[in-house]
Amino acid sequence: MTRFSISISVLSFLAMASVAHADPRKLAEEKQCLLCHTMENKVGRATAFKAIAQRYKGKADSEANLVQMVEKGGVGHWGYIPMPPAGWKRPDVSEAEARELVDWILALH
Ligand code: HEC
């Protein structure tokens, strides 16, 4: 009985955790990432998320560096147009949200 109820609560915890991360693409829309970025082919001022994944996937430190970039903005990685910091010209992004977005981008292929 105890073992059974423990596994039920583990399962429902996992279900809740996956609901919280259900749709990073929606989060990217809410945070206006897709106003500048595209998914596949660069059209606007910022590089496509797939190109970002191809450059950084599997490289040490890339997750941490990109999370910083999503929170603080930056320039010079792709060209001379800067990405503004979160909360300035684009919505605020928490560290957890930045991490979720970066993990999603790095998993694109
Ligand atoms: C106002 C336009 C704009 C918005 C909005 C924007 N970006 Fe960017 N982003 C850029 C530009 C321009 C660059 C390239 C900067 C550079 O060359 O270093 C960039 C670069 C990046 C990079 C690559 C960083 C690197 O070190 O190579 C990531 C990852 C990224 N953006 C994610 C996001 C996410 C996630 C959001 C939404 C929370 C977002 N961006 C919103 C313009 C934008």
CA 69 to centroid of ligand 1, rounded, Å: 7
Q: What's the pLDDT score for residue 8?
A: 57
**CA–CA gap between residue 46 and residue 85 (Å, rounded):** 14
Task: Determine, yes or no, domain membership for 11.
Answer: no
- Token pair 């001022």: residue: 45
Number of domains composing the chain: 1
Question: In this structure, what CATH number is given to the domain that contains residue 63?
Answer: 1.10.760.10
Task: Determine, yes or no, domain membership for 63.
Answer: yes
Task: Determine, yes or no, domain membership for 3.
Answer: no
CA 75 to centroid of ligand 1, rounded, Å: 9
Biggest alpha carbon distance in the chain? 62
pTM of the entire predicted model = 0.85
Cross-strand pairs, 74: 83
Task: Determine, yes or no, domain membership for 83.
Answer: yes
Q: What's the pLDDT score for residue 109?
A: 86
Q: What's the pLDDT score for residue 45?
A: 77
67 lines ligand 1 (CB under 6 A): no
CA 108 to centroid of ligand 1, rounded, Å: 16
Mean pLDDT by 10 residues, the chain (109 residues): 61 53 90 95 86 95 97 96 96 97 96
Residue 20, token pair as written in the block: 């919280």
Nearest CA to ligand 1 atom 25: 77
Q: Domain residues for 86?
A: 23-106
Q: What's the pLDDT score for residue 42?
A: 79
Q: What's the pLDDT score for residue 30?
A: 97
**CA–CA gap between residue 59 and residue 82 (Å, rounded):** 23
